[in-house]
Amino acid sequence: MAVPGRCAPTGRFAPSPTGPLHFGSLIAAVGSYCLARRTGGRWLVRIEDLDAPREVPGAADDILRTLETLGLCWDGDVLRQSLRHEAYHEALGRLRDRGLLYDCACSRREILASAPHPGEEGPVYPGTCRSGLPAGRLPRAVRIRVPDRVVEFDDGVFGRCGQNLASAVGDFVLRRADGVFAYQLAVVVDDAASGVDQVVRGADLLGSTPRQIFLLESLGLPVPAYWHLPLALHADGSKISKRHGEGDDPLRHGGDLVRRALEWLGQELPGELRAAPSAELLAWGGAFFDAARIPKKTQIVVDSAGK
């Protein structure tokens, strides 16, 4: 393994333990791994188990075992979001001290009723509780005030991207009515705490990035470089969310899975590696991965055979 130098990046893979690692999430794992390793960087793994009801028992350990089986070896300890509540609470306090937060009494149904035209990321919060809770209402969620300006960033795949937070999402939730900290908050707090400066993930999160940059800036934390990879979709447009058939079994077909992930990311493998085991393919990817070859598409349909 390369020794991290001063300029070497720190990347990460951050799966949710909602089932075993499948081809869709393997793309993000392989892409983030190769982009970190090709410049001698570190690669971390974080389990995003913030939302306990969605978690499948045993899935986190299963994902980690699969990564090890494939030769996707991470640096340091695995971070688990379920053990990070204190850090999220502290970040929320800092934002509150800056006057950026307010309590919101609105139910989802009320927001849908008052925002009939959805923004880019779903219903735009109309700002009902921005100047205080309506009389007789109790606080439910905690929201952050967003500025009416475009938050811009340079994506490693898609180039210059931007979003006006006020018109695309409105003031967004940082702690839900059920007390769970929002994904957007947890991600930025964890990335900063782990020194992650290279975020490589699926293009379904492209629209979350401006919110995360706004949170990082509001917390005085450094903004990482972003790379969004094309999502693997079924022909009906749904995201690949589980394994399909025996060909997806990483124990028996690890090399084939990693090769498919590298090819998905536009990489041209040397002929002699076409039947190589996964560790050999990853060693090649960690040395020769060419970011310029990643398809500039937010999604690609996997053919009917699931390949």
As annotated, the active-site residues are 242
- The answer to whether 298 contacts Zn ion (rule: CB under 5 A) is no
Cβ–Cβ < 8 Å for 125, 170: yes
* Longest distance between any two alpha carbons in the chain, whole Å: 71
Q: C-beta of 121: minimal distance to Zn ion in Å?
A: 17
- Tell me the CB-side half-sphere exposure of residue 65, using CA atoms within 13 A: 10
Q: Would you state the structure tokens that stand for residue 159, as one six-digit string?
A: 């180039």
Using CB under 5 A as the binding rule, the residues of this chain from 129 to 158 that contact Zn ion are 129
Nearer to Zn ion, 142 or 192 (CB): 142
Stretch that binds Zn ion, among 58-66, 88-96, 121-129, 153-161 (CB under 5 A): 121-129
Among 18, 82, 128, 164, binds Zn ion (CB under 5 A): 128
CA distance to 95, 105, 182, per residue, from 56 (Å): 32, 31, 19
- The answer to whether 231 contacts Zn ion (rule: CB under 5 A) is no
Rounded Cα distance between 139 and 290, Å, is 49
The amino acid occupying position 106 is C
CB count within 10 Å of CB 299 equals 14
- The answer to whether 47 contacts Zn ion (rule: CB under 5 A) is no
Nearer to Zn ion, 75 or 103 (CB): 103
CB count within 10 Å of CB 285 equals 26
Using CB under 5 A as the binding rule, the residues of this chain from 76 to 105 that contact Zn ion are 104
- The answer to whether 205 contacts Zn ion (rule: CB under 5 A) is no
- The answer to whether 106 contacts Zn ion (rule: CB under 5 A) is yes
Q: C-beta of 128: minimal distance to Zn ion in Å?
A: 4
Q: Would you state the structure tokens that stand for residue 126, as one six-digit string?
A: 């109309």
Cβ–Cβ < 8 Å for 212, 161: no
Q: C-beta of 164: minimal distance to Zn ion in Å?
A: 20
Cβ–Cβ < 8 Å for 118, 214: no
CB count within 10 Å of CB 72 equals 24
Using CB under 5 A as the binding rule, the residues of this chain from 13 to 42 that contact Zn ion are none
Nearer to Zn ion, 129 or 142 (CB): 129
CB count within 10 Å of CB 65 equals 14
The H-or-E segment that residue 253 falls in is: helix 250-264
Q: C-beta of 204: minimal distance to Zn ion in Å?
A: 26
Nearer to Zn ion, 53 or 99 (CB): 99
CB count within 10 Å of CB 187 equals 26
Nearer to Zn ion, 104 or 257 (CB): 104
Q: Number of residues interacting with Zn ion: please give it, by CB under 5 A.
A: 4
Nearer to Zn ion, 92 or 104 (CB): 104
Q: C-beta of 51: minimal distance to Zn ion in Å?
A: 21
Using CB under 5 A as the binding rule, the residues of this chain from 237 to 296 that contact Zn ion are none
Residue numbers at the binding site for Zn ion (CB under 5 A) = 104, 106, 128-129
